[in-house]
Amino acid sequence: MTSLPIVLASGQLLTQETWTPQIAAWAKRDVRHADHRHDDTIAGMAQRLLDAAPARFALVAHALGGFVAFEVMRRAPERVARLALIATLASADGPAQTARRQGYIDLVESGRFDQVIEERIPMLFPPEKRDDAELLGLARRMAADTGAETFLRQQRAIMARIDSRPTLGAIAAPVLLIRGAVDGITTVEQQQEMLDAIPGARLETLAGVGHLPTVEAAKQTTALLTDWIDRG
């Protein structure tokens, strides 16, 4: 049986390195990484993903990638055979999130882009991992590789995204939700909201893991994703 192609959609300030363990495990499969560098709207990112993707594929999306995934499901649901949503949420930003994002924009526009990732580290990793040189190095490297201009485009896209909750019930593809139990960006309530609204969705919560399960709990996350994709 031919393996289902996989499209990976990364989060903000993150690159293909987010998926290094999974890409290594899936070395013999058709695995593609969505390009979120050039568009300043979620719609643009979603269309770019679809234009580059196989006719039918499994979509594995993290954080910002989840926002893109919801738009993909609105535009071309028949092309997504299976969907995994990692550390993401379906609602639009509230006032607090918008204010935080504007603060990041202010940092970048004042020439302090490097400070953005430092302010995000406490949200990305639980306290016991904030001295982990490998994880911190990865986060800083991915932010540097993303760069200020791409970050600003991603930020504008996130801030302007629509509320995807009204369309969750229309998702027909099988959906797996994965969240780290100590994720500093998403909440239990946001996961429950998606779990309740998406028909047949399943939630896996990873103990002691923050916002980057693909690298913090690489073996566990890869096993969950592989099993999920291969059920199709």
Question: Which pLDDT tens digit goes with each residue over 59-105?
Answer: 999 999 999 999 999 999 999 999 999 999 999 998 988 999 999 99
Question: Which pLDDT tens digit goes with each residue over 112-148?
Answer: 999 999 999 999 999 999 999 999 999 999 999 999 9
* DSSP string computed for 4-24: PPEEEE--TT--GGGGHHHHH
pLDDT of residue 1: 52
pLDDT of residue 110: 95
How far is CA 104 from its chain centroid?
19
- CA distance readout (Å), 29 to 58, 62, 216: 12, 20, 23
| Residue carrying structure tokens 């500093």 | 184
Is residue 51 within 8 A of residue 181, CB to CB? The reply is: no
**Cα distance between residue 181 and residue 62, in whole Å:** 15
Q: Where are the domains of the chain?
A: 6-93+155-230
Question: Which pLDDT tens digit goes with each residue over 184-228?
Answer: 999 999 999 999 999 999 999 999 999 999 999 999 999 999 999
Q: Dihedral of CA 207/210/211/215: which sign?
A: negative
**Cα distance between residue 112 and residue 145, in whole Å:** 15
Residue type, 28: K
**Cα distance between residue 101 and residue 177, in whole Å:** 25
Residue type, 115: Q
**Cα distance between residue 5 and residue 25, in whole Å:** 14
pLDDT of 2 strictly over 90:
no
Phi, psi of 61 (to 5 degrees): -125, 135
| Residue carrying structure tokens 């399943």 | 202
Phi, psi of 116 (to 5 degrees): -60, -50
Which superfamily, per CATH, for 6-93+155-230? Answer: Alpha/Beta hydrolase fold, catalytic domain (3.40.50.1820)
